[in-house]
Amino acid sequence: MPHLPKVVRGVRLPYPALREVMLVEEARWFGRQLAHYSPAELSPMLNVGSQTLHFRRYVQPWIEQYVFAPLERRGVQVLHTDLRPGAGVDLVGDVTEESFLAQLRTYPFRAVFCSNLLEHVHEPRKLATHLVQILPANAWIFVSCPRVFPYHPDPIDNGLRPTLAQLARLFPHTELVAGEEVACGAIWEYVLARLRAWLRERRARQDGRLPQADQGGVTDLPAPTSPGAGLPWQQYARLALWLCRPVWATCAVLRVSHRSAHYLEARP
């Protein structure tokens, strides 16, 4: 991978569309990896930082297309958890809080899916440790972070842009089974994919093909979030440079090597 700056804190992305990101090639990579495992090895799976069903189907439809729809067809049960309630969110809570973690430990999860969340928490190592603690030995963690991507707070961006080895080291009691720094094209390609998704959603809504349960979420093209005249021209100029710059994601599959003491304490 070519050497590129990992994060530019001087750029605050002006559109919410760029703040909640799973890139298309990243989703494809996970789809290929998940296909190697049987339903018994993956089910039940916890999707951490899941967003809503609407988001997964219509805002970033490649998440559903490459990751969760194939799992559903194979009979893998997936529970989705997020900080915010919404259609398609099964469990609402903060995985970094002990009370919610105790609740999660009561489920017999065999796998965890955690995409582009670690860069948005104050203590990524704590979150990674908590995810390990809800799993038994020989369970699986599918995790990703941006490797080369501009600053995108949601609500914060802690600047985490790990190499594959650095990402794996965040998770105690695990071993790296597969991983790659995935080339994901340029940001303009992602913006174009989002625009196409929005147009498909709009047509489905106009034709009455959008189920009522999927009505929540982003329904219009996002407007600039900055007040007044908008961002200073210098920040728009920096963002324009990013639009054509290659972006990368660090993706990994980890195996839990042995049960943690916290997992054993939670078992009946």
CATH T-level fold of 16-260: Rossmann fold (3.40.50)
Contact 113, 88 (CB under 8 A): no
pLDDT at 120 over 60: yes
Say whether 266 sits in a helix, a strand or coil.
Answer: helix
Confidence band for 258, pLDDT divided at 50, 70 and 90: confident
pLDDT tens digit string along 161-180? Answer: 999 999 999 999 999 999 99
What span, in angstroms and rounded, lies between the C-alpha atoms of 251 and 141? 11
pLDDT at 122 over 90: yes
Confidence band for 268, pLDDT divided at 50, 70 and 90: very low
pLDDT at 213 over 70: no
Per-residue exposure over 58-83, b if at least 16 CB sit within 10 Å of its own CB, e if not: bbbbbbbbbbbeebeeeebebbbbbe
Confidence band for 208, pLDDT divided at 50, 70 and 90: confident
pLDDT tens digit string along 32-41? Answer: 999 999 999 9
From residue 176, alpha-carbon distances to 43, 163, 186 in Å are: 20, 13, 28
To the nearest whole number, what is the mean pLDDT of the chain? 83
Taking the model in full, what pTM does it have? 0.81
Confidence band for 190, pLDDT divided at 50, 70 and 90: confident
Query: Of 9-18, 97-106, 242-251, which has the strongest mean pLDDT?
Result: 97-106
Confidence band for 206, pLDDT divided at 50, 70 and 90: confident
Share of the chain above pLDDT 70, in %: 77
Residue 198 has what pLDDT? Answer: 82
